[in-house]
A and B are shown apart, each in its own frame.
Chain A
Amino acid sequence: MALTTAVAAHDSDAVVSETQESSIESSGGARVVAEGLRKSYGKQEVLAGLDLTLAPRSLVAVAGSNGIGKSTLLSCLAGTIRYRGTVRLEGQRVGGATRGRIAYLPQRLRLPGSSSGREVMKLFKAFARGAADRVELPDGFLPPLDKPVGQLSGGQAQRVGLAAVLQGSPDLVLLDEPFANLDDEGREQAHRLLRAHRDAGATVLIASPTALDLLAMIDRVLLIENGGIGFDGAPSRYAGSLEMTVWVRPGDVADETLVGLAHVLRTRREGDWVALECHEDRAIGLLRDLEALGIDADRVRLGGPVAEARVSASPGVADGSDVR
């Protein structure tokens, strides 16, 4: 069954034009309304009646495991694939009427290698229909633009692609894993750039497998599960719902005792260590339980969150022996 998502308006006070405001009002305050999106590849249904509403001036992450439908959702919203259902941008069906208002960076975009960065920028600028750039690029973001794109590194080409599609004043910005290949500085600059677009009125949707690196900058997380939206909420709530691993050297404490702890979802043993998986917001409770069992802090190590586990829910790992 399709899950309807709530509108999460960002409370920034950026300027949105009067005509846009009236179109947004006519579409119930939402900039993008997608209803009953269905898309299949052969017999595999990737989107199964997905409903989605996106507010103006919002920065939203679409998370989910590989092949779950993140890119397909973005392609539907961009109007670059055929699907069943409707996508409306401020009340207008995505297509001819919304020309120039959607910026889309596909995953692993490969720009023509013999063209220079400047030529790519010029081409996308032409498709921005003369609209002035809503946001200026951070200094030093772009590599030398006279070089053919084929001679740029993967990260440099990604910067050109990102800068090219963001030209003009797109109302809906769809980015499929836009930070791939970017170095730390480029990533930081890209984060600032997207926040600036959001603050200037754009709706920005970013696909990322875990969204973990985006939590500090986004307003909302959508997790795709089973062809619909499995989670829709604030980044803090999303982070709490992720699973993490607490590694324990139990010593005299029996594995069965660890298995029985209240917050533990799954366990597995690897040598002297036992991995206890729990939701991130339950980790403190688990640590207290371990302390109560007499397991000192020096016998405990914290692992990173395992976002994909929430989606795939596959217990244990191949190289470890399950104890539950």
Chain B
Amino acid sequence: MTTALVTFQARSVIRGRWSIVAIAGFAIAAAMVALLGLGSFRQLGFGAVGPAAVSLLNLALLLPTAQALLLGALALSGERESGFMAALRARGMSSRTAIFATWFAVTLSAWLSLIAGFAVVAIIVAGNVPMADMPVFFSIMLICGASAAVAAAIGVLVGSAVTNRLQASLVAIATWFLLALGLDLVVIGLGVFLSLGEPAILLAVLANPIEAARVSALLLLDASGSALGTMGIYLSENVGYAGSLGLLIAALALWTIVPLGIASFILGRRDL
């Protein structure tokens, strides 16, 4: 039953117009970054903090997360609004199954974007970067995949809490802006104003999954953490490289599990 629903949802979401547009859009944007940054890739490869690698990282952290957040919110609220979820609930579908199936389908759609984008980049930069950089390339793709999974979970949470699709899209877009830009601006502003130390900034990073994914990826590109400034030094001195990565990945896992749990709780206690 769960398998049937997961399969159905995955097909339904991936074949949807917005998924196809997002997958194609990210592939085109990634290709443009790779072509424009080919010189940088030739000089620094993919295993260093170069302008092209960071541009690709930011693109992969922002576009698929926007896709996952929006699709997650729209898919769940749409199924509620259309009566489809009620028809299945009457037949015995649990809230947990509904939430998991939607989350998985949306995450898969975002992963397809990442695979398409990174595949295009790999084709363009092939022969221009050393093969030794490939593990970092794939690790960064995995980190971006994790951030997309987090965004899908938050999107599903939004979809479970709002009343209709319009509200879902507005709240999803606002949430994405908050995670992608808003929280950073708050931390920068408060950091300067309140003279926040590294522990407070680390907490702020852990409190923002996109930022946690970005810091993880930057650590993968530069194990010394020097690209992260004083916070990188703080991390390597206090937690170490593996510890830092473990901490950030654990934060991403929590950012996935907790929203899904809350969404399941909400969906089980509201009218469909």
A316 located at the interface, meaning its Cβ lies under 8 Å from any Cβ of chain B in the complex: no
Q: Given A114-B15, A114-B16, A104–B86 Cβ distance below 8 Å?
A: yes
Asked whether A165 lies within 8 Å of B87 as measured between CB atoms, the reply is yes
Asked whether A103 lies within 8 Å of B91 as measured between CB atoms, the reply is yes
Number of interface residues of A (CB under 8 A): 35
A79 located at the interface, meaning its Cβ lies under 8 Å from any Cβ of chain B in the complex: yes
From B82, B83, B86, B270, contact of A82 by CB (8 A): B270
In angstroms, Cα B189 to Cα A237, docked, is 75
A14 located at the interface, meaning its Cβ lies under 8 Å from any Cβ of chain B in the complex: no
Please encode chain B, from 239 to 272, with 1 for each CB lying within 8 Å of some chain A CB and 0 for all others.
0000000000000000000000000000001111
Q: Which of these binds chain B: A124-132, A228-236, A248-256, A263-271?
A: A124-132
B114 to chain A, nearest CB (A): 21
Asked whether A102 lies within 8 Å of B90 as measured between CB atoms, the reply is yes
In angstroms, Cα B82 to Cα A107, docked, is 9
Asked whether A106 lies within 8 Å of B83 as measured between CB atoms, the reply is yes
B12 located at the interface, meaning its Cβ lies under 8 Å from any Cβ of chain A in the complex: yes
Asked whether A79 lies within 8 Å of B89 as measured between CB atoms, the reply is yes
A324 located at the interface, meaning its Cβ lies under 8 Å from any Cβ of chain B in the complex: no
Please encode chain B, from 6 to 32, with 1 for each CB lying within 8 Å of some chain A CB and 0 for all others.
001001100111000000000000000
Chain B residues with CB under 8 Å of A82's CB are: 269-271
Q: Which residue of B lies closest to A83 (CB)?
A: B271
Q: Which residue of B lies closest to A111 (CB)?
A: B84
B267 to chain A, nearest CB (A): 11
B227 located at the interface, meaning its Cβ lies under 8 Å from any Cβ of chain A in the complex: no
In angstroms, Cα B93 to Cα A95, docked, is 10
B171 located at the interface, meaning its Cβ lies under 8 Å from any Cβ of chain A in the complex: no
Asked whether B86 lies within 8 Å of A80 as measured between CB atoms, the reply is yes
B196 located at the interface, meaning its Cβ lies under 8 Å from any Cβ of chain A in the complex: no
Q: Which of these binds chain B: A16-24, A60-68, A115-123, A210-218?
A: A115-123
Q: Which residue of A lies closest to B79 (CB)?
A: A112
B1 located at the interface, meaning its Cβ lies under 8 Å from any Cβ of chain A in the complex: yes
Chain B residues with CB under 8 Å of A107's CB are: 83
A71 to chain B, nearest CB (A): 10
Chain A residues with CB under 8 Å of B270's CB are: 82
Chain B residues with CB under 8 Å of A209's CB are: none
Of residues A78, A82, A114, A129, which shows the largest number of chain B Cβ atoms within 10 Å of its Cβ? A114
Asked whether B83 lies within 8 Å of A123 as measured between CB atoms, the reply is no
Chain A residues with CB under 8 Å of B83's CB are: 106-110
B272 to chain A, nearest CB (A): 4
Asked whether B12 lies within 8 Å of A112 as measured between CB atoms, the reply is yes
Asked whether B271 lies within 8 Å of A124 as measured between CB atoms, the reply is no
From A127, A161, A164, contact of B92 by CB (8 A): A127
Asked whether A127 lies within 8 Å of B271 as measured between CB atoms, the reply is no
A160 to chain B, nearest CB (A): 12
In angstroms, Cα B17 to Cα A108, docked, is 22
Chain A, range 140-176, C-beta contacts under 8 Å to B: 161, 164-165, 174
Chain A residues with CB under 8 Å of B4's CB are: 122-123, 126-127
B5 located at the interface, meaning its Cβ lies under 8 Å from any Cβ of chain A in the complex: yes
B88 located at the interface, meaning its Cβ lies under 8 Å from any Cβ of chain A in the complex: yes
B interface residues (Cβ-Cβ under 8 A, vs A): 1, 4-5, 8, 11-12, 15-17, 79, 82-84, 86-93, 269-272
8 CB-based A-B contacts, threshold 8 Å: A75-B271, A78-B89, A79-B90, A99-B92, A115-B15, A123-B4, A127-B91, A127-B93
8 closest A-B pairs by CB = A99-B92, A106-B83, A104-B90, A126-B4, A110-B82, A127-B91, A81-B271, A78-B90
